[in-house]
Amino acid sequence: MLEDAGTISEVASTATQDEPLITNTEPFLISDVIGHICNFLVTKYIKKCRLVSRSWNYGATPVLKSRSKIDILLYPEEDDGDDVKAWFRSKIVPKLNFNPVKMNLKIPNRSEYYPLKFDFSILPPTTTLKSINVLCPCDEVFSSQRKFCKMLVLASSTTLEKLSFEFAHVRDFVALKGTIFPKLTSLKTEDLENWDSGDKSVEQFVQTITTSSLMSLLLIGECNSVRMECLLEIPASLNKLFFRPYLKIDDRVDELPTIFYKLLKKHSSTLQDLIIITSWKGEEKEMEWKFPIFPVMKRFILLSNHVFEKSVFEINFGNFGPIDYNVCFPVLVIFHISNRMHELSSVAAFLPGEDKCATMPSLRDVDFNILTDVPTAGEQLLQARLYVEMLDLFPHAKDSIMKKLKALLLKDLSIKFGIAS
């Protein structure tokens, strides 16, 4: 590997005093070659390559940009003094001049910092960003920082492939209304505020920001029937969905399972990776949930308490029944389900009947975890019995099941006899 060849400084130090230095002003490796070589180097060596010559710097910099994620803290630190304009010129502008590909933008917390006024006229043009993560606490006083983030997102709309908002407000999305993101493949929103039944801003945002190129979507936050229904407006066909809703009861709660099914059904023909982590927030309601057929799904991970205790699965068009993995998940490779509640009933709907064993050769990794964080001996025994039962139900996943069973038994022995793990 090229990483093992030693750093540039180490190579240079091998020259002896008797050997004259080569002072040829022409680059001894053209920049294109340097760029190709840097693709195989770790980041710290790429940084050193940039110091060798102008040509090496030219070849190594694009690779470094593609690897680096620039952090921009939109507030002065203690040693930056009180001159906001000087801080902006010395700390923010140089990072933008680097023309990075990936960027983290952090708006401060009101309890620690004060709002600032930026001089946007000195901002260099930034149109190379492919990934932007915005961490923006829901506080209206930082309008200048929010405007800065909006300007960067809009300026990079034609190149952005990944866009993430954490602790955002609906107004952060509305500000992007009408913008087209032709290359966007991954969108993440976490803990979105002010997303209530009377606000259609998120629905408008979903209709606007998503394009046919969107492949991956990560959503975390409170979710009721209205919020989930907004997701049906996504025009793209997703390959990956990470969905972590904290379910809330509203006046249309009885429609929630139907909307959930429609959401999964819309993307079922393309969805390859599905992760659902959910629970009720506050009052709970027992409901029956429906899952469509996923013809190309390869990984399905489900973590919940007893939300999906009553679940049925599509067998053919419009007909539902107990799960049949051979029909519902014909090419599935990984299936994990966990409730950590010591309740077999909450995962029983996902166990196939003895006459419908999951015989797909692709299914190699299966786990049904019902252990609590601090399991008792009885809970461990129930888990072990479940693993033994699974050996017949998932014949092609025996190796993964046996591995988990052995780990469980060894852990039990180590606790009983005080053996260090």
* Residue 178: inside a domain: no
**Residue where the block lists tokens 């038994």:** 409
Secondary element (H or E) of residue 328: helix 325-328
Secondary element (H or E) of residue 291: strand 288-291
Domain that holds residue 37: 2-62
Residue 255, pLDDT score: 94
In whole angstroms, what is the distance from residue 111 CA to residue 337 CA?
40
Is the CB of residue 166 less than 8 Å from the CB of residue 141? no
* Residue 27: inside a domain: yes
* Residue 416: inside a domain: yes
CA distances 206 to 132, 173, 182, 184, Å, are 18, 9, 14, 13
In whole angstroms, what is the distance from residue 48 CA to residue 3 CA?
12
> How many domains does the chain fold into?
2
Q: Which of 23, 44, 62 is the last residue of a domain?
A: 62
Residue 94: which region, alpha, beta or left (left: phi > 0; alpha: psi -120 to 50)?
Answer: alpha
* Residue 344: inside a domain: yes
In whole angstroms, what is the distance from residue 236 CA to residue 136 CA?
26
Average pLDDT taken over every residue of the chain: 79
Residue 73, pLDDT score: 79
**Residue where the block lists tokens 């993307």:** 267
Q: For 324, phi and psi rounded to 5 degrees?
A: -130, 100
Q: Which of 38, 62, 86 is the last residue of a domain?
A: 62
Residue 335, pLDDT score: 97
Handedness of CA 129, 132, 134, 140 (dihedral sign): positive
* Residue 343: inside a domain: yes
Secondary element (H or E) of residue 413: helix 398-417
Is the CB of residue 275 less than 8 Å from the CB of residue 243? yes
* 98 vs 275 pLDDT, higher one: 275
Helix and strand tally (H, E) in the chain? 14, 14
- Whether residue 122 is predicted with pLDDT greater than 70 in this model: the reply is yes
Give the length of the chain: 421
Q: What residues does 303 pair with on adjacent strands?
A: 277, 338
pLDDT confidence tier of residue 35, bands split at 50, 70 and 90? confident
Entry pTM: 0.69
* Residue 323: inside a domain: yes
Q: How many C-beta atoms surround the C-beta of residue 257 within 10 A?
A: 17
Pick from 99, 106, 95, 98: nearest CA to 73: 106
- Whether residue 392 is predicted with pLDDT greater than 80 in this model: the reply is yes
Pick from 143, 208, 197, 145: nearest CA to 173: 208
pLDDT digits (tens, 9 = 90+) for 308-353: 999 999 998 789 999 999 999 999 999 999 986 667 888 899 999 8
What would the DSSP string read from start to end of 76-115? Answer: --GGG-S-HHHHIIIIIHHHHHT--SEEEEEPPPTTT---
Q: What residues does 364 pair with on adjacent strands?
A: none
In whole angstroms, what is the distance from residue 274 CA to residue 301 CA?
6
Residue 89, pLDDT score: 81
* Residue 229: inside a domain: no
* Residue 161: inside a domain: no
Pick from 177, 170, 109, 104: nearest CA to 141: 109
pLDDT digits (tens, 9 = 90+) for 51-89: 888 889 888 888 888 887 788 877 776 655 567 778 788
Q: Which of 25, 44, 62 is the last residue of a domain?
A: 62
